[in-house]
Chain A
Amino acid sequence: MTRKRRRLYVVLGGLGALGVVSALVLTAFNDDLVFFYSPTELRAKNVPDGRLVRIGGLVETGSVAHQADGRTIAFRVTDGKEDVEVAYVGVLPDLFREGQGVVIEGALARNGTFRAAEVLAKHDENYMPREVVEALKKSGHWQEGGSQEAIAGRRP
């Protein structure tokens, strides 16, 4: 075993590992990247049923309803232009509230409702998920001034 031979093995091993990693990452990126859409974009993009995506917006005031089975919670997420019916089975996170920003991971069901797999609202109550802020800005429903202060957080 010469030094050169050993280096060759190490380089070959390294290249092999790199190839395996690239293959793994690329296939995973292909299938497992989760795109973020506002309700408007979700409607516009014709996202296929069953594809895992994240949506974000405000929980529409007065839309939260516990369904008869005692486990499913339905609500609407809005960016001011469009809204999406969401159904979620489970315990909502502590910071979930009507009128607050929320990010939801899940997929569209065939009937057009959004089946939430996970509801992310794990920010403090003054904090708005960044994606939601941008989605609201895009839809033109972002309130400068008044709510800005509440959104910017607690820093003086």
Chain B
Amino acid sequence: MMVELGHFALVLALLLSVAQASLPLYGAARRHLGLMEVGRGAALASFVLVALAFAVLINAYVTSDFSVANVVENSHTDKPLLYKITGVWGNHEGSMVLWVFILTLFGAAVAWFGDNLPPELRARVLAVQGMIGTGFLLFILFTSNPFLRVLPAPANGQGLNPVLQDPGLAFHPPFLYLGYVGFSVAFSFAVAALIEGRVDAAWARWVRPWTLAAWCALTIGIAMGSWWAYYTLGWGGWWFWDPVENASLMPWLAGTALLHTAIVVEKRDTLKSWTILLAIVTFSLSLVGTFLVRSGVLTSVHAFAVDPTRGTFILLLLLVAIGGPLTLYAVRAPALKGGGLFAPLSREGALVLNNLLLACAVATVFLGTLYPLFLDAVGGPKVSVGYPFFNRTFVPLMVPLLLAVAVGPLMAWKRGDLLGALQRMWAAFAVVLVVVVGGLYATKGGPVLAVLGFGLAAWVAMGALTEWAERVRLFRAPPGETLRRVVNLPRSAYGMTIAHLGVAVAVAGFAASAFETESIQTMRAGDTIPIAGFSLEFTGVEPVQGANFNADRGSFLLRRDGALVAELHPERRFFPLHQQTTAKTAIHTNFLADFYLALGDPDGKGGWAVRAYWKPLVPWIWIGAVMMALGGLMSLSDRRWRVGAAARARRAPPVAAPAE
């Protein structure tokens, strides 16, 4: 009964989405306030309905209702409660419901917080959101319905892939989807602006917070995924240039570009049509990302069964969702008049450079990810594109970007002074020099490129700090004045400083991977091996019992100069239900370096394969990502979003229909 209720709620939500997609659009064209207001009610109501359906599905998992096919395929009574819940989005059907849930959440947020939007714009934005919702609900109901029953109900389910039973991965999809779907708001605003034929600074002020919020969530989502891969897969890698990872990196890169170009629209009223295009492209890449991963085109832990109807539907949906707006763009964009002029050397110019490089980076990742699929589709040879390709295309594009990141914010709007900006960065030059020369000296004969990477990180960090120091007039104004400025600096300024520092921290983490030490050994109880100045003693293996697995738990003592640093317990877990073994690595970190230990197979003669790594600065990669997201959130909390938005609010008439 409950399950049918969920199914019914989804059908109702579909009908409401159709209404939300059509009536407000018609109302906006006819300037009919009542019809325009339908969008708000429909957005809020379909959110409630999809939330209900999602809750029903979660309930079916929690209570292990094995009359539901989706639960049978992906859950098991022995599974811990957390993984029963997260199993909901660990499969195709459930993840699509999560997707629509987040979509309607954003739609409802626009309806709820959109009081200060002009009614026509709000109506059109909600209509576009409604169209996306319609497409996805149709997709769920016709090809991926999670509420289908099985008769007779089996006694137990088939469980969730053990690799996915992990707290890090449990929350990776929701964050990723918050990012992907969050970009739908920027997309809807862009399409609405194209329909309206008007883009102004106020428009950018509405788009930016949504983009920023989505970008923060996506940053966290990607970082979680990479962190999970790092500590569970037992290879110690944190980025594999796997198509699945690239699928999330592309919208992130495009979103980063969008974030920066929206600033130009807001402050300088120019680069409008490019910003609109970026908003469309960013969400399109999110769609491509979702479907690349979920459609089974790519084979990986993320891919689920391949179903031809699904594939056709997906292609059709992509065609409409991407082709439609791009056509509209081709027709309408020439009418968008650019505003302020600027010299190539100016802050706008720096942001254009940022966008160019990010767009090129997206293009290389896109090519590298899709070329093998394309070649396969036309019957060419089977190829794969691995990290060497990306190291040679993506990385060279990031170097000039990082060089510019430090200087750009120091340039004035309209007409900047590059020489002056570089002069003001004397401290940065000094620090970079010390880092590079010191680094080369300390790692004599070591990887030169990695040392230059540290230099780049120092350059970015010093650039961010220099900009901050300029703003607070550090050492140039009396301390009291500086202190007053430190307190009064807008949060968005701090947001930028923190996010750029985060980039620097992450770059240092990437570069440091060249200095890691690896030791792969077969060890017996009592063996001791030296690694990176530590000594690692293997004391033995004991069996342990988990909720739905048995494990061999290794015990290791990590010592430095005879003093105990840590006790490490990597495990090999065997999940009888799946006949599958996973590695549970043991990591000792002091935030400057990780000591990483994975237990491999026994050799049958009392020895165990052991993989040990010393990885300097690796935690900085995730610390940097978190800093970027924090910077974004800091910016998001700026008063300006509320103050600025109010300027056009007076024109909004009182709400006609009560929002339910």
* A binding-site residues for B, Cβ under 8 Å: 1-3, 6, 9-10, 13-14, 17-18, 20-21, 24-25, 27-29, 31-37, 52, 54, 66, 70-71, 89-95, 105, 122-125, 127, 129-131, 134, 153-156
Contact = CB atoms under 8 A, between A and B. Distances in A.
A130 B299 contact: yes
Interface stretch (B36-44, B166-174, B381-389, B462-470): B381-389
Given A24-B364, A155-B73, A124 B578 contact: yes
Contacts of B299: 123, 127, 129-130
B580 A95 contact: yes
B513 interface: no
A18 B580 CA distance: 47
Interface string B106-145: 0000000000000000000000000000000000000000
B396 interface: yes
A14 B356 contact: yes
B379 to A, nearest CB: 12
B556 to A, nearest CB: 15
Residue among A9, A18, A21, A123 with the highest chain B CB neighbour number at 10 A: A21
B601 A3 contact: no
- For A31, A32, A95, the residue with the greatest tally of chain B CB atoms inside 10 Å of its CB is A32
B576 to A, nearest CB: 12
For the residues of B in contact with A, the DSSP-based class is: mixed
Contact of A105 (B69, B368, B386, B572): B386
Given A20-B360, A123-B299, A91 B73 contact: no
B429 interface: no
A71 B300 contact: no
B300 A17 contact: no
A20 B401 CA distance: 14
A24 B368 CA distance: 12
18 contacts: A1-B342, A2-B341, A3-B338, A21-B360, A24-B364, A24-B396, A25-B368, A66-B603, A70-B607, A90-B520, A91-B609, A91-B610, A95-B581, A124-B161, A124-B301, A127-B299, A129-B299, A134-B382
A94 B580 contact: yes
Interface string B391-403: 0110011000000
Contacts of B598: 91
Q: Top 3 closest A-B pairs, CB basis?
A: A91-B600, A36-B382, A70-B522
B393 A94 contact: no
A62 B124 CA distance: 65
A35 to B, nearest CB: 5
B520 A91 contact: yes
B176 to A, nearest CB: 19
B392 A94 contact: no
A32 B389 contact: yes
B423 interface: no
B33 interface: no
B596 to A, nearest CB: 12
A38 to B, nearest CB: 9
Nearest to B609: A91
A28 B356 contact: no
Contact of B522 (A10, A66, A122): A66
B438 interface: no
B368 to A, nearest CB: 8
A33 B385 contact: yes
A92 B359 CA distance: 38
B454 to A, nearest CB: 24
A94 B371 CA distance: 29
A74 to B, nearest CB: 13
Contacts of A1: 341-343
Nearest to B583: A94
A90 B233 CA distance: 14
Nearest to A45: B381
Contact of A89 (B163, B520, B600): B520
A99 to B, nearest CB: 13
Tell me the interface secondary structure of chain A in the complex.
Answer: mixed
Contacts of B609: 91-92
A106 B609 CA distance: 21
Interface of B: 69, 72-73, 150, 158, 161, 163, 233-235, 299-301, 305, 338, 341-344, 352-353, 356-357, 359-360, 363-364, 367-368, 371, 381-386, 388-389, 392-393, 396-397, 520-522, 572, 578-583, 598, 600-601, 603, 607, 609-611
A97 to B, nearest CB: 9
Given A70-B522, A93-B235, 8 more contacts: A3-B341, A10-B352, A20-B360, A21-B364, A31-B388, A70-B607, A91-B610, A94-B234
Contacts of A153: 305
Contact of B386 (A32, A127, A156): A32
Contacts of A20: 360, 397
A28 B388 CA distance: 8
For A3, A9, A33, which residue has the most chain B Cβ atoms within 10 angstroms? A33
Contact of A34 (B342, B385, B583): B385
B384 A54 contact: yes
Contacts of A34: 383-386
Contact of A92 (B158, B363, B601): B601
B356 A17 contact: yes
Contact of B382 (A35, A105, A127): A35
A24 B580 contact: no
A154 B522 contact: no
A67 to B, nearest CB: 10
B657 to A, nearest CB: 44
Contact of A70 (B338, B360, B396, B521): B521
B382 A131 contact: yes
A17 B382 CA distance: 29
Contacts of A3: 338, 341
A9 B344 contact: yes
B414 to A, nearest CB: 9
A128 to B, nearest CB: 9
Contacts of A92: 600-601, 609
A71 B608 CA distance: 10
Contacts of A33: 383-385, 389
Nearest to B386: A34
Nearest to A96: B601
B360 A124 contact: no
B301 A122 contact: yes
Contacts of B72: 156
Nearest to B363: A21
A25 B391 CA distance: 11
B342 A6 contact: yes
A129 B360 CA distance: 32
Given A28-B389, A33-B385, A154 B520 contact: no
